Structure 1
Amino acid sequence: MAKQEREPHSGRRVALFPLPFQGHLSPMLQLAALLRSRGFAVTVLHTGFNAPDPARHRELAFVPIHETLPEEATSPDAGIVAQLIALNAACEAPFQDALASLLPDVACVVVDGQWYAALGAAALVGVPALALRTDSAATFRSMLAYPRLRDAGYIPIQGKNDERLDEPVPELEPLRVRDLIRVDGCEADALCGFITRVADAMRASASGVVVNTFDAIEASVLGKIETELSQPAFAVGPLHKLSPMAAAEHNFLHSPDRGCLAWLDAHPPRSVLYVSLGSVACIDRGVFDEMAWALAGSGAPFLWVIRPGSVRGGEPPLPFGLDMSRGKIVPWAPQRDVLAHPATGGFWTHCGWNSTLESVCEGVPMLAQPCFADQTVNARYVTHQWGVGLELGEVFDRARVAEAVRRLMVGEECAAMRESARRLKIQAKQCVSATVAMDNLVKYICSL
């Protein structure tokens, strides 16, 4: 029966264009596999920079766009906003040419929501375009509001002592001014300019928005996005659970140490704190040292991912005299397997959206240490909307952080957060069992 329902889509082709970073590649390819399972032919247009491996996805077609990138677009030392602007400028024409080469067989194209130039290029080619937001609906709505918040004086935030930092942001509750998107070291004008381009492209050139989220946690925000854009918004997440790719975790830029799973096997249920700040974020040496001392002093067993390049100034040695006997350190971990492991009782995270969703889906409470961009938005929702985590805050010292670890892992607060996390996990499972959002997206694509 399912096969008969999918036959009308056979032969219709959807093109996808992911942003070339791990946190964006993964959900886009998960969506690609999901669309393929619904009977669409799928072509993935991609940059040569951080290109996906076609051998891992033999059911998909891959077409490079043959871009020429300036150093600013690829250098790890470049600021993320400057990098995104450079990528958009360099990839606009090659993407347009590659998309045009697929005509007349393409029903629509799905581009990463940060590819504002690609949205305009698709319109010039005459191909309907959807934007995939790999961040939360709350983050996307805050981006749509960013220009008017700037005009109202909420942005930029002038230093840590700005008296407005703890003010609630009108119409974006529970966000405070300090929770709005920020990128340290990036001038407010440049950040606002980038966000304005994204918002303007959505309004001018997109036929809809696809969000890697689910109604149980963001239904009201999704409704407000639809009203503001006068476009449909499809909550098709959690993609890592719904996609046929979910059976295997694909790490495009880092190879996981799977030996850590055997180490977890030797620990009691919900006893281990998993620590990872994601695939991009970098921290200062001082923060690294305080993290190390806090973990050692917390009393909790821990699995700590120290990614090469994640500490500014090179690979640091652990502080002298530190007792790490309760912990295990790896350069990268199979995160979804770790979060699903019975021994994992908490997640110290940067609150990137993929990590946040994965933790929600496994019912694991979080210790929030947002580093930049959308992570502050996600951290606020984790701690004050869903009640499944604690925030570390601006003051970062070993004693305070060790106490936060203990509160996350044991005691009354821990029990309350675990119960809230358990309820969200049930809701996520119910979403995975339903197919309404994906059904609606498929119908919409076929109507374009």
Structure 2
Amino acid sequence: MREREKGTPKVGSDSQLESSVSELLPLKVKDLPVINTRNPEDFYQLFVSAIKETKASPGLIWNSFEDLEESALVRLHQDYLISLFPVGPFQKYFPTSSSSLLAHDHSSITWLDTQTPKSVIYVSFGSIATMDENEFLEMAWGLANSNQPFLWVVRPGLIRSYEWLESLPNGFLEMIGGRGHIVKWAPQQEVLAHPATGGFWTHNGWNSTLESICEGVPMICLPYSGDQRVNARYVSQVWGVGLQLESGLERGEIERTIRRLMVEEEGQEIRRRSIELKEKADLCLKQGGSSHQSLESLISYLSSFKGLLHN
């Protein structure tokens, strides 16, 4: 709300998209979540109501952990004056595969077993994102020209106006040979935990971002909508565990970015930070860790409400 009152540039203004949002650094205007609506004022009022109800609530449970978002959690507590319980990452408690809407192709793991450690770039954009034929072809050639092994999830419906791989050039699959493996869906947590996986090209949905952090896998960020742009900015600029494709899908840029992450010295430093963050994610859930303590506090907090109801 304060950003609106101070006249933050309209998100749709091309001249302002690269401007920083002073109260939300390191975010740029183009990173702010946008919801298309016929009446922006109605959405704003809904947003105001959501904030009001949140501030009136007993507390908030977060799928995150203190070492990842400590400054944001401190600010939220100051602004909302309610209890916060960062008890994540949820992925460490139970596998997300149990909630998958698509059948996993376990040939992904069989293929990864044939690859050298940390050599494979895993590519997956979740269950909603779509792209046009030209974008898909730029991706295909960028992956091929990088000369890195890749595991590519091409979900049915990912390419607009095509069922699956019909838009690939004739002979493309034969050209890449065993260096690339394309599936309709993959067991993502298992893929990210595999020793052969060295990078994750992702849309930066929060679940995928956390899964990558939990396995110490550095990221290439290509956000599409919602909170994904915010997540991508933090991955690349705050936590330093990934690179962001800022200029869209162009095969030369894709090839260079993959090689920066997977081959060059810059990527080794990103990988080092990714491993450090993974270790922090592991520690937070152990006895005495921040998320473990937060979960115990949440249980005590809920128990106190139960006692009040019985009195």
**Structure 2 length as normaliser, TM-score?**
0.89
CA distance in 1, matches of 2:119, 2:236: 21
> Conserved in 2, the CA contact under 8 Å of 1:179 and 1:380?
yes
| Superposition pairs of residues 261-300 of structure 1, within 5 angstroms | 261-300=109-148
> Does the residue aligned with 1:329 lie in a helix, a strand or coil?
strand
What is the distance in 2 between the residues matched to 1:389 and 1:188? Answer: 36
**1:14-93 paired onto structure 2 within 5 Å:** none
| Structure 2 residue 208 is the aligned partner of structure 1 residue 355 | yes
1:367/1:390 contact within 8 Å kept:
yes
Q: Residues 11 and 32 of structure 2 are in contact (CA less than 8 Å); yes or no, is this contact kept in structure 1?
A: no
Equivalent residue number for residue 230 of structure 1: 81
Question: What's the secondary structure of 1:338's corresponding residue?
Answer: helix
Would you say 1:195 and 2:47 are equivalent positions? yes
Report what 1:152 is aligned to.
Answer: 6
Deviation for aligned residue 1:361: 0.8
Match of 1:424 among 259, 266, 277: 277
What is the distance in 2 between the residues matched to 1:273 and 1:368? 12
Aligned counterpart in structure 2 of residue 343 of structure 1, from 192, 196, 199: 196
SS at match of 1:270: coil
The whole-number CA distance in structure 1 between the counterparts of 2:59 and 2:268 is 40
Does the CA-based 8 Å contact 2:146-2:258 persist in structure 1? yes
Say whether 1:436 aligns with 2:285. Answer: no
CA distance in 2, matches of 1:299, 1:191: 46
Residue 178 (str. 1) matches residue 178 (str. 2): no
> C-alpha displacement at 1:177, in angstroms?
1.4
Structure 1 residues 300, 196: closer, same or farther in 2, change over 3 A?
farther
Q: In 2, distance between residues paired with 1:192 and 1:417?
A: 38
Select the residue among 58, 61, 64 that pairs with 1:207.
58
In the alignment, the residues of structure 1 paired with residue 37 and residue 155 of structure 2 have an alpha-carbon distance, to the nearest angstrom, of: 24
How far the C-alpha of 1:432 sits from its partner, in A, is 1.8
Work out whether residues 149 and 155 of structure 1, in 8 Å CA contact, stay in contact via their aligned partners in 2.
Answer: no
Query: Matched residue of 1:249: which SS?
Result: helix
- Indicate conservation of the 8 Å contact 1:156/1:188, yes or no: no
Task: Give 1:285 shift.
Answer: 2.4
Give the match's secondary structure for 2:160. Answer: coil
Q: CA deviation at 1:440?
A: 0.8
CA contact (8 A) 2:3 2:23 kept: no
Q: Which residue pairs with 1:327 in the alignment?
A: 180
TM-align CA RMSD: 1.8
Give the Cα separation in 2 of the matches to 1:337 and 1:167.
39
Give the AA of the match of 2:265: E
Letter in 1 for 2:199: G
Q: Distance in 1 between matches of 2:190 and 2:48?
A: 38
Which residue number corresponds to residue 309 of structure 2? none
Q: % of aligned pairs identical?
A: 42
- Is contact 1:155–1:188 with CA below 8 Å preserved after alignment? no
What letter corresponds to residue 25 of structure 2 in structure 1? E
Cα shift at 1:416: 0.6
Displacement after TM superposition at 1:284 (Å): 2.3
Quick one: higher RCO (CA 8 Å, sep 6+), 1 or 2? 2
Deviation at 1:399, TM superposition (A): 0.9
Contact 2:17 2:29 in 1 (8 A): yes
Is 1:250 matched with 2:98? yes
Matching residue's letter, 1:175: L
Q: CA deviation at 1:155?
A: 5.0
Which string of whole-angstrom CA distances, capped at 9 and with x for unpartnered residues, describes residues 327-354 of structure 1? 1111111000000000000000000000
2:72 aligned partner = 221
Structure 2 residue runs of 5 or longer lacking an equivalent are 306-311
